[in-house]
Structure 1
Amino acid sequence: MADIRKFMSEQGWSWKEEQRPGGKTLAILNCPFCGDTEKKFAVKLDDGAYKCLHLNRCGVSGSFWDLQKMLGIRNPQRPDKDKFIHTVIKYERPKVHAESLSNATIEYLKSRGFWDAIMKQFKIGQIKDEIMFPYFKNGELVNIKYRGVKEKKFRQEKNAEPSLFGRDFCTGDYIIICEGEFDAMSFSQMGEPAVSIPSGAKDTRWIETEWEYLQKFQKVYLCFDNDVAGQENIFEIVKRLGKWRCYNVILPFKDANEWLLKDMSYDGVKEVLNNAVQYDPEILKNASQFKEQVIELFEHPDILHGLPTPWEKLDKILRGWRDGECTVLTGRNASGKTTCLNQVIIDLIKKKQNTLIASLEIPARRYLRWMVLNILQTQHPEIKDVDKTIDWIGEHLYILDVYGAIEPNDLLDSFDFAARKYGVNKFVIDSLLKIQFPGINDLKEQKEFINSCIDKLCKYHNGHVWLVAHPRKSLKDSDEPDKVDIEGTGAITNLADNVLIMTRKPVEKTSEVDNRLFVKKNREWGDEGFINLKFDSISKKFSEVSNGNTQSSFNKRSNKDSQESWWNE
């Protein structure tokens, strides 16, 4: 177990402590990860959770365990629970003596639908022109809430313990929690175990004081006002009490007391409780809910086929570029990665696909010159043809005017803007090596960046992302990389849907084939294999080679054999 303060001292950190209204104590200091000088970093002294408030520049956050890992500590420890900081609040007990209910107040309460027996059960009192709602906890008076008879104004005893109104009357395995005393009394009049929270739904201090009491209930029915404000405030309560036992009660009227004045009945209440909706996570579904979608995939298997690639034999393996996926392309220096990707982009333009590329290793004007040569297939094109070609390219291609390093947030913001304004849904990043991560843990930040690309570009914008990644250094350039050899975090290939590896023929080898493009991961179909390519130095274009034993092949032999021996075929 670790003492949070002792741990921070061992790091050489200096901080000031701030007490928060909920009783938590925070250590406030400069962020150790982003060069912060504004003391925007906070650590909870009860559990060690941390967060940097420089959200655009840093924004790191996590548990005490994560903090230790970020700092490179090999054997992280859990926080010492005995060292938890918790302020014990001293509450005051009410000393007010209630008056007997006046005839006018009794008539008012009866006009709200209440019987004499319910008024007596809840010990409703009066002081001057205010109705008194006494809050009892295990028979002891802990709070009084007041409501004006003539005007709907509320107040409570100062420094009183926040507890539940009517709690001592509730038995059984379920409880109904309401937003007001009249609502709790209305349910109780129908024989149901109901309580009311002491203040508005945003004030959840009662959860802490009633924690042990609430543990005995297997079901918690939340019956808040049936309006936008009432429903919005439920979720914080549900999160703390537990989704597995909370149910949202939707009433036929604004609240329970209004229902009591209309046609509330025992059977009606039972029906409402039976129809209450549990707070299942939105992402949690029964398999049968996907029946129609699964049947559609069998009836129309072409749904799983994406946009055709420039090479027919690659389509036989991948079945095209599918929206919502991320493809990683890697290969040694000069293996043809960028040339291959350039051909893919030209093919996307021909298919009228709005595409955006971050060509970080080649300036925009040189990259576009390369593309023009590829399209016109001549080293000396006429200027008028160049002019027309650039106009044609510009109909569907956007390019970031950045050469060199770029921060991940700047890149993602630009991509997101292009998707929203220009309808771009094909995104190319060449290469990951040029993404400048601001923190000290590049591997973690790489993973977060790739996750962000997938979440924002692939899923939210239903696009396809091509990401160029470099392999780790090997003993010699002729060593062919596998998907586990990509430089950086293993999350690069783990998160990707497709992994392609470009290889180039060694100079000393003679073969009609110049390059081979391997498919090392194909999440949707599972097929792996390769296609053989021949490179034309004039047009800078790859064409398929299909003579002899050099035809596209997949799932016929091990990847190791296919990589090491193919130049000798």
Structure 2
Amino acid sequence: MASFIPDDIDFSAYADLTEHDQRVISSGEYADDVVGYFWDDSKPRGEALPWDRTDGKLLFRPGEVTLWAGYNGHGKSLALGQFAVGLVAQASTCCVASLEMKPVVTLARMCRQAFGTSKPDPDSIRMFHQLTDRRIWMYDQQGTVSADKMIGVMRYAATVKQCAHFVLDSLTKCGLGEDDYTAQKIFVDRICTVARDTGLHVHLVAHSRKGKDENSPPGKMDVKGSGAITDQVDNVLTWWRNKAKEDAIRKGGDFSELDPDAVLICDKQRNGDWEGRVGFWFDPASMQFVETSSRAPMNMLQPRFQP
């Protein structure tokens, strides 16, 4: 019962849609909206990450683009999968274009995260798909997809499937040359345009350049490709895995459980006030990143932010 977006749709019909009604509006028309910006606390102005430690720090607002950066193999996709499950608990919707992994594998990992166990029973699995049906959509395509088609898929997901979020994993699978900075800049600009036109929040995964080792977190200046990528997006997040701690555990060396297994770093939040770091611990059985060293899995399906 998973919801799929097949690859045989003519996405070109959506790739070149633009907003024709460009209006210049007097500031007075926005008075009520600005009052609400300051004083309407009835609901968040966007969706949040699934962890309490990030509440009030980071929101994913309509019409924005967030870059998720980090070294290859450091858990970006896994964290985004947990985020997608967390969106269901916020009554939101998401389309995932995981171009490096089959939908069944992506959904199986989300199911583990949802129930906090390594092998959910068949009834739980079917319950998961009932809860996520038409809330989590999968773009069923692996391998390289052209930039034009990807823009069409995003517009289709936003306008036809009414998705609020779109995960593109990753930039390297969109047919752009690694050194073609102009093409990268144009593509990211088009993604930002789609987000603004439709209200879709796009989560774009990109890899970071490796330094002498992976024991120090990369920054936003370490993202592979054009510097215009981080300039154009609204938010820049880096996900870093503490491999030095992992090596110490594996070799029987010294380590502290107070040191997190992974760190989320916010280097840019254009429309928010917070930048900083938050540490997490990893529970291998559930594939969850959790907030304490006890590694007890979270209840991912409990509704959040209900009145």
Same fold (TM over 0.5): yes
The one-letter code matched in structure 2 to 1:471 is: S
**SS at 1:328's partner residue?**
strand
Q: Does the Cα contact within 8 Å between 2:96 and 2:168 map onto a contact in 1?
A: yes
Does structure 2 conserve the Cα–Cα contact (< 8 Å) formed by 1:332 and 1:477? yes
- Are 2:185 and 1:447 aligned? yes
Q: 2:178 and 2:215 mapped to 1: Cα distance?
A: 32
Query: Percent sequence identity over matched residues?
Result: 28
Structure number with higher relative contact order (C-alpha < 8 Å, ≥ 6 residues apart): 2
1:467 to 197, 204, 207: 204
Partner deviation per Cα, 1:312-368 (whole Å, 9 max, x = no partner): 2222322x2211111111112232211111110001122232210100121211111
The answer to whether the 8 A contact 2:179-2:225 is kept is no
Structure 1 residues 386 and 292: alpha-carbon distance in aligned structure 2, compared to 1, 3 A threshold? closer
Aligned to 1:305: 45
> In the alignment, is the contact (CA less than 8 A) between 2:281 and 2:293 conserved in 1?
no
Q: Is the 8 A contact 2:171 2:204 kept in 1?
A: yes
- Whole-angstrom distance in 1 between the partners of 2:42 and 2:191: 26
TM-score, length basis structure 1: 0.43
1:345–1:355 contact (8 Å) kept in structure 2:
yes
Among 269, 277, 295, the alignment partner of 1:522 is 269
**Map of 1:511 onto structure 2:** 257
Contact 1:535–1:542 (8 Å) recurs in 2: yes
Deviations 1:51-98 (A, max 9, x none): xxxxx8xxxxxxxxxxxxxxxxxxxxxxxxxxxxxxxxxxxxxxxxxx
8 A contact 1:425–1:461 mirrored in 2 = no
Alignment partner of 1:476: what SS? coil
- Residues 294 and 378 of structure 1: CA distance in aligned 2, closer, same or farther (over 3 Å): closer
Alpha-carbon shift at residue 484 of structure 1 (Å) = 0.8
Aligned to 2:152: 413
Cα deviation, residue 440, structure 1 = 9.6
Alpha-carbon distance, 1:386 to partner: 2.2
Aligned pairs, how many?
265
Q: 1:288–1:460: structure 2 CA closer, same or farther, 3 Å change rule? A: same
When residues 385 and 473 of structure 1 are mapped into structure 2, their CA distance, relative to the original with a 3 A threshold, is same
1:540 and 2:287 matched: yes
| Equivalent residues in 2 for 1:108-147, closer than 5 Å | none
Partner SS for 2:55 = helix
RMSD: 2.6
How many Å apart are 1:525 and its aligned residue? 2.4
2:85 maps to what in 1?
Answer: 346
What are the within-5 Å matches in structure 2 for residues 380-459 of structure 1?
A: 380-437=119-176, 442-456=180-194, 458-459=195-196
The answer to whether the 8 A contact 1:304-1:322 is kept is no
C-alpha contact (below 8 Å) 1:407/1:436 kept by paired residues: yes
Q: Return the match for 1:498 from 226, 232, 235.
A: 235
Output aligned runs, 1:74-153, within 5 Å: none
| 2:114 counterpart of 1:375 | yes
Assess, with a 3 A threshold, how the Cα gap between structure 1 residues 532 and 292 changes in structure 2: closer, same or farther. Answer: same
Partner in structure 1 of residue 4 of structure 2: none
> Which one has the largest radius of gyration?
1
Cα distance in 2 for partners of 1:351, 1:316 equals 15
Q: Write out aligned runs for 1:287-366 (5 A).
A: 290=30, 293-300=33-40, 305-318=45-58, 320-366=59-105
Please give the per-residue CA displacement for 1:534-558, whole angstroms capped at 9, x wherever unaligned.
11000000111399xxxxxxxxxxx
Paired with 2:156 and 2:213, the residues of 1 have a C-alpha distance of 42
